[in-house]
């Protein structure tokens, strides 16, 4: 109980180190809650009210910390084993970096664990990986909108005091170049009248066709053209009604200045937006399907629609079973197949709230009038009979986002993963259209692979194949329900492998015993005082051993040696038996050890007159058998 992290071997150094971190974590954070609530409880009464909840969350964090430790250890072990297998002595900096970055392993912990494995850690490589990751993050930040510029309350109240009304963003639903006027330019710390384009800046226009990030839909990108220069729009956010375009100088335009009062043209990247729309509509269908399959308690906790995937967080206390994932996916795909019209209309908030089954995001403040997006019936039909039970079987949401006009345009939907991200909150990741078709195709390819593998008769080949399919499957972005199925298929294959191995083992024993018996019988009938022979059972030591034991039992006091090799790995196994009453004090190791020398062999044993050896150069088995024959002839005659 003092060390609740399970799954990590308690090697002494590692144990004490992890234990230390764990204790530090628990004692620090957990005990702070009481003190903190005592100190701050009068100022923030909600702390007192939620003391238990806060403790629960911390306890959950502890659990997930443990979990990460264990997962990190598994990752470490895999990497360390791989290094050792390849005869290396250094864990790569990249591996150490992944442990640090993804699993929160301090590098000195990684180093200590590496010592346990007889390895060192490439810290220089770690530094290089760290620098690369930093550079990547910098680039991503730059691409995603340079330095982040936000309008704080002070800034928006300044705009308000100047009499600037909030940005008219109704043109965001149109698909054409939009003309507007520059109202304010913000550097991140102050308002200026002219931007030179040397630095990123925030731009507030009178009206805009750019979609600012909201309602779980990512912002638009594109460009804004002024009278003397074009600027890239890298990010668009809304602050207290003011839409802020985060702009940078666009390479290729000759002059670069923009001033308050300039007329500009807004050019949204509609191709990018077109990639987002089907995914956003699918998010609505997913939200609907989740409630239908899992129950009414499912509430949207957040979502984001990116060009490459959609993510949906929702309240649910336990993992969603694969069969439920399949039903959810099927509902969305059925709606896509049904080719339902997607409608959007602005209506009074009070009217919207009367619509049976309408989804809104808890905690979100909605404007009035509000926009309703329905899939299937028109919004006006909903309003005509808002209480109808019918509306429980369709998706209606308050949403300001951009959508496709018919569900058919989403083409396909694949639910790729489902996982817990916090207490009572799960996350689904899904793809649509081309990505979804690819995911389904990939699942089919893997199933074909499994099917092919099930026809393999040779145990060793099957074993290799299963290993490689498992690796592919783990990493594959395929529908989660299919992944669960395929895992089931693989465990069937593994059963098959176990049976094949068992059967092969039995056959090998029969084969080796028969070979040894025949050879021993022939030796005896020729008057030879020993038997050296070779069985064809690969590296099956059990079979070779059994052959020697059986032959010695039958032909009492006959020394027997049996070889068997595996050509593909060029390895050999050997067993030898010499009865205790053999002439001239002949001992089994005196026979085995020199005989396997040509095989670069190593041998041992000798108890009860039985010894075994292995060799790493099976190509010289003939020579080894001749030596065995010579020694026995000499010693036993």
Ligand X SMILES: *[C@@H]1O[C@H](CO)[C@@H](O)[C@H](O)[C@H]1NC(C)=O
Binding residues (CB under 6 A) for ligand X: these are 123-124, 127, 154, 274-275, 278-279, 308-310, 431-435, 447, 450-451, 454, 485, 488-489
Which of residues 278 and 603 has its CB atom nearest to ligand X in the complex?
A: 278
CB 611 within 8 A of CB 574: no
Report CA Rg, the chain: 36
Per-residue DSSP letters for 208-224?
--PPPSBTTBPPP-EEE
Minimum distance from CB of 433 to ligand X (Å)?
Answer: 3
Q: Quote the least distance from Cβ 322 to ligand X, whole Å.
A: 10
Q: Is-contact 617 598, C-beta < 8 A?
A: yes
Pairing type for strands 120-121 and 560-566 reads: unpaired
Cβ nearer to ligand X, comparing 185 with 537: 185
Specify the residue, 470 or 554, whose C-beta has the smaller distance to ligand X: 470
Q: Which is nearer to ligand X, 133 or 274 (CB)?
A: 274
Q: How many CB atoms lie within 10 A of CB 39?
A: 12
Q: How far is the CB of 534 from ligand X (least distance, A)?
A: 39
318: DSSP letter: S
Pick 58 or 144: Cβ nearer ligand X: 144
For residue 16, which of 35, 3, 30 has the smallest C-alpha distance? 3
> DSSP secondary structure string, 109-173?
HHHHHHHHTT-EE-HHHHHHHHHHHHHHHHHHHHHTTSS-----HHHHHHHHHTTPPPPB-GGGG
Residue 270: CB minimum distance to ligand X, A: 12
309 or 554, CB closer to ligand X? 309
Classify the C-alpha dihedral 121-125-131-136 as positive or negative. negative
Structure letter (DSSP) for residue 583: G
| Choice between 450 and 531, CB closer to ligand X | 450
Written as six digits, the tokens of 408 are: 């058919």
In 3-state terms, what secondary structure has residue 550? helix
Question: Among residues 409, 419, 396, which one has the least CA distance to residue 483?
Answer: 419
CA atoms within 13 Å, Cβ hemisphere of 575:
24
CB closer to ligand X, 300 vs 489? 489
Cα(523)–Cα(551) distance, integer angstroms:
12
Minimum gap (Å) between residue 496 Cβ and ligand X: 10
Residue 208, Cβ density class (10 Å: 0-12 exposed, 13-18 middle, ≥19 buried): buried
For ligand X, give the closer residue by CB, 47 or 484.
Answer: 484
Residues 6+ positions from 161 with CB-CB distance below 8 Å: none
CB of 293 to ligand X, least distance (A): 20
Q: How far is the CB of 279 from ligand X (least distance, A)?
A: 4
Both structure tokens of 462: 């099957």
The minimum distance between CB 150 and ligand X, in angstroms, equals 12
Instruction: State the DSSP string of 8-51.
Output: S---HHHHHHHHHHHHHHHHHHHHHHHHHHHHHTTT-HHHHHTH
Q: Are 268 and 220 in contact (CB under 8 A)?
A: yes
Helices (H), 341-426: 349-353, 379-384
Q: Closest CB to ligand X among 42 and 124?
A: 124
Task: Name the residue nearer to ligand X (CB basis): 72 or 278.
Answer: 278
- Report the nearest approach of ligand X to the CB of residue 480 (Å): 15
Instruction: Kindly state the smallest distance separating residue 507's Cβ from ligand X, in Å.
Output: 26
Distance CA 320, CA 419 (A): 8
Q: Given the complex with ligand X, which of 275 and 535 has the nearer CB atom?
A: 275
Closer by beta carbon to ligand X, 373 or else 611: 373
For the CB of residue 324, give the shortest distance to ligand X in the complex, in Å. 16
**Smallest distance, ligand X to C-beta of residue 445, A:** 11
Residue with smaller CB distance to ligand X, 349 or 490: 490
Q: How far is the CB of 184 from ligand X (least distance, A)?
A: 12
E strand intervals along 221-364 = 222-226, 229-239, 242-249, 258-259, 263-268, 300-305, 310-315, 342-347
Tokens standing for residue 430? 């899904």
Shortest Å, Cβ 462 to ligand X: 14
The continuous run of DSSP H or E covering 289 comes out as helix 270-294
């Amino acid at each position: 109980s003092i060390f609740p992290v399970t799954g990590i071997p308690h090697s002494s150094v590692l144990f004490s180190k992890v234990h230390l971190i764990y204790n530090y974590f628990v004692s620090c954070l957990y005990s702070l809650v009481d003190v903190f609530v005592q100190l701050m409880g009068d100022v923030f009464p909600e702390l007192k009210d939620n003391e238990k909840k806060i403790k629960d969350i911390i306890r959950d964090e502890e659990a997930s910390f443990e979990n990460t430790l264990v997962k990190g250890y598994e990752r470490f072990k895999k990497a360390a084993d791989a290094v050792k297998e390849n005869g290396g002595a250094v864990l790569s900096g990249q591996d150490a970096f992944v442990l640090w970055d993804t699993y929160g392993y301090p590098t000195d912990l990684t180093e200590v664990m590496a010592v346990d494995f007889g390895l060192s850690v490439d810290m220089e490589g770690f530094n290089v990986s760290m620098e690369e990751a930093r550079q990547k993050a910098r680039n991503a930040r730059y691409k995603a909108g340079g330095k982040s510029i936000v309008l704080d309350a002070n800034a928006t109240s300044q705009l308000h005091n100047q009499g600037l009304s909030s940005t008219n963003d109704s043109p965001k639903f149109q698909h054409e170049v939009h003309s507007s006027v520059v109202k304010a330019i913000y550097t991140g710390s102050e308002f200026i009248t002219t931007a030179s384009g040397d630095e990123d800046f925030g731009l507030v226009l009178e009206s805009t066709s750019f979609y600012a990030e909201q309602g779980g839909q990512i912002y638009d990108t594109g460009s804004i053209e002024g009278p003397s220069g074009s600027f890239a729009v890298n990010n668009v956010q809304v602050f207290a009604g003011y839409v802020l375009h985060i702009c940078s100088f666009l390479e290729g335009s000759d002059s670069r200045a923009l001033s308050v009062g300039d007329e500009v043209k807004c050019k949204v990247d509609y191709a990018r937006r077109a990639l987002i729309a089907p995914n956003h509509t699918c998010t609505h269908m997913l939200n609907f399907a989740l409630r239908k399959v899992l129950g009414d308690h499912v509430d949207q906790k957040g979502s984001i629609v990116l060009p490459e995937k959609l993510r949906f967080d929702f309240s649910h206390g336990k993992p969603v079973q694969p069969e439920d994932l399949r039903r959810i996916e099927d509902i969305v795909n059925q709606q896509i197949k049904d080719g339902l019209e997607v409608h959007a209309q602005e209506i009074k908030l009070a009217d919207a709230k009367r619509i049976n089954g309408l989804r809104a995001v808890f905690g979100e403040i909605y404007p009035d009038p509000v926009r309703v997006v329905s899939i299937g019936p028109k919004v006006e039909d909903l309003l005509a009979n808002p209480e109808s039970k019918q509306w429980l079987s369709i998706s209606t949401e308050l949403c300001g986002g951009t959508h496709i006009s018919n569900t058919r345009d989403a083409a396909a939907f694949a639910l790729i993963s489902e996982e817990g991200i916090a207490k009572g909150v799960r996350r689904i990741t899904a793809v649509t259209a081309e990505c979804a078709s690819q995911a389904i195709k990939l699942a089919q390819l893997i199933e074909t692979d499994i099917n092919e593998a099930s026809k393999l008769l040779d145990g060793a080949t099957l074993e290799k194949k299963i290993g490689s399919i498992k690796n592919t499957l783990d990493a594959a972005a395929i529908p989660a329900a299919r992944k669960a199925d395929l895992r089931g298929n693989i465990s069937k294959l593994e059963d098959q492998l176990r049976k094949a191995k068992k059967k092969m083992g039995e056959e090998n024993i029969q084969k080796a015993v028969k070979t040894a018996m025949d050879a021993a019988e022939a030796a005896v009938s020729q008057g030879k005082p020993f038997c050296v022979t070779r069985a064809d059972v690969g590296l099956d030591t059990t079979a070779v051993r059994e052959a020697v034991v059986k032959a010695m039992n039958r032909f009492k006091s006959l020394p027997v040696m049996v070889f068997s090799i595996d050509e593909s790995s060029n390895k050999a196994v050997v067993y030898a038996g010499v009865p205790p009453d053999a002439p001239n004090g002949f001992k089994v190791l005196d026979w085995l050890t020199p005989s396997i020398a040509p095989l670069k062999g190593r041998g041992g044993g000798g108890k009860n007159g039985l010894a075994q050896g292995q060799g790493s150069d099976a190509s010289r088995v003939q020579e080894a058998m001749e030596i065995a024959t010579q020694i026995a002839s000499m010693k036993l005659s």
